[in-house]
Amino acid sequence: MLLSDITRRLVSSGVDSSDARGEALLLAERFAGVPRASLLADPGRLLDSPALAEAVERRCAREPLQYILGEWEFCGLPIRVDPRCLIPRPDTEILAERAAALLPPDGRFLDLCTGSGCVAAALCALTADRRTSGYAVELDPDTADLARENLAALGFADRCPVLTADVRDDPAALLRGKYDVIAANPPYVTAAEMDALAPELAFEPRGALTDGGDGLSLIAAIVRGYKPLLAEDGTMLIEHGWQQADAVRKIAEAEGMTCASLKDYGGNDRVAEMRRGTNGGIKN
């Protein structure tokens, strides 16, 4: 099997032609042990590896590349990923980076709907000089275990324990004190949108993608339930769908909070930045 054979098979299975060669290189490097530089220098090299052949079959069945590789980068960190969690995406790095920028020295944070723990891990890594700390919260016990594995592997287990809980329940029964930043990437895909998603999304946990309705129920529950835990000058950051900015702003305003929007890499409103009362607006 040649690199060109793998690329051709991926394209014929429906993988975007602009991505196929890069994916072929990643698969060959991971499962045949051939460095990318060697393959680029010698693209006609024969790749005889049962593990690679199996990985290619899985990708041709549209299993996400990230699950096949078993690891994906988020904010420069290696994050273990498997079907227990939503795959970390570049747009969520905007949420993590903004949250980190807003944390003061020795600040406290919450990362709700943590999934793989990628946002919590990024907050620890990006604020290592400030020794911030916090908690990550995840509904699914198996997913929470994965988040703990990632945080432990990166050396952040002590700074950010993972709690297993439903964010729709009263957080006062679980958490104490105030938090400078509350970040969340809840399931916000609408039930109608689920039918039009790429085949790869069928492999990801449905409950991490959608609330089964309009995609706003978890967002509303977080704003309503966690506002009392927000420090007086604190910020709540919630990722949402590209068409949901106005609806999320109304949810925030109904709870007496101001709301501004941060855009993703495609120029779409993606993260709602909320604060108490009238002192909103974007902080520098």
Cα-based angle 8, 14, 20 (whole degrees, multiple of 5)? 45
- Asked if residue 217 and residue 134 are part of one domain, the reply reads yes
Classified as helix, coil or strand, 140 is coil
Series of mean pLDDT values for 10-residue runs along the chain (284 residues): 96 97 97 94 92 98 98 98 97 97 97 98 96 96 98 98 96 93 97 91 96 96 97 97 96 97 94 81 45
* Domain-located, residue 260: yes
- Asked if residue 94 and residue 46 are part of one domain, the reply reads no
- Asked if residue 211 and residue 176 are part of one domain, the reply reads yes
* Domain-located, residue 217: yes
- Asked if residue 99 and residue 239 are part of one domain, the reply reads yes
- Asked if residue 203 and residue 155 are part of one domain, the reply reads yes
The residue with tokens 């227990």 is 84
- Asked if residue 168 and residue 94 are part of one domain, the reply reads yes
- Asked if residue 46 and residue 135 are part of one domain, the reply reads no
SS3 content of the chain, % helix, strand, coil (to 5): 45, 20, 40
Choosing from 61, 93, 108, the residue where a domain stops is 61
Q: What is the pLDDT of residues 191-200, one digit of tens each?
A: 999 988 999 9
- Asked if residue 157 and residue 108 are part of one domain, the reply reads yes
* Identity of residue 61: A
Number of domains in the chain: 2
- Asked if residue 99 and residue 42 are part of one domain, the reply reads no
- Cα separation, 232 vs 179, whole angstroms: 9
Rg (CA), the chain: 20
- Asked if residue 229 and residue 133 are part of one domain, the reply reads yes
pLDDT at position 278: 59
- Cα separation, 260 vs 79, whole angstroms: 29
pLDDT at position 195: 85
List, in sequence order, every residue forming a beta bridge with 179; answer none if it has no partner.
Answer: 230
What CATH number has the domain bearing residue 212? 3.40.50.150
Q: Could you tell me the residue range of the domain that residue 44 belongs to? A: 3-61
- Asked if residue 119 and residue 197 are part of one domain, the reply reads yes
- Asked if residue 29 and residue 99 are part of one domain, the reply reads no
Classified as helix, coil or strand, 55 is helix
- Least Cα distance to 109 among 127, 84, 135 occurs for 135
- DSSP track, 212-278: SSSS-HHHHHHHHHHGGGEEEEEEEEEE--TT-HHHHHHHHHHTTEEEEEEE-TTS-EEEEEEEETT
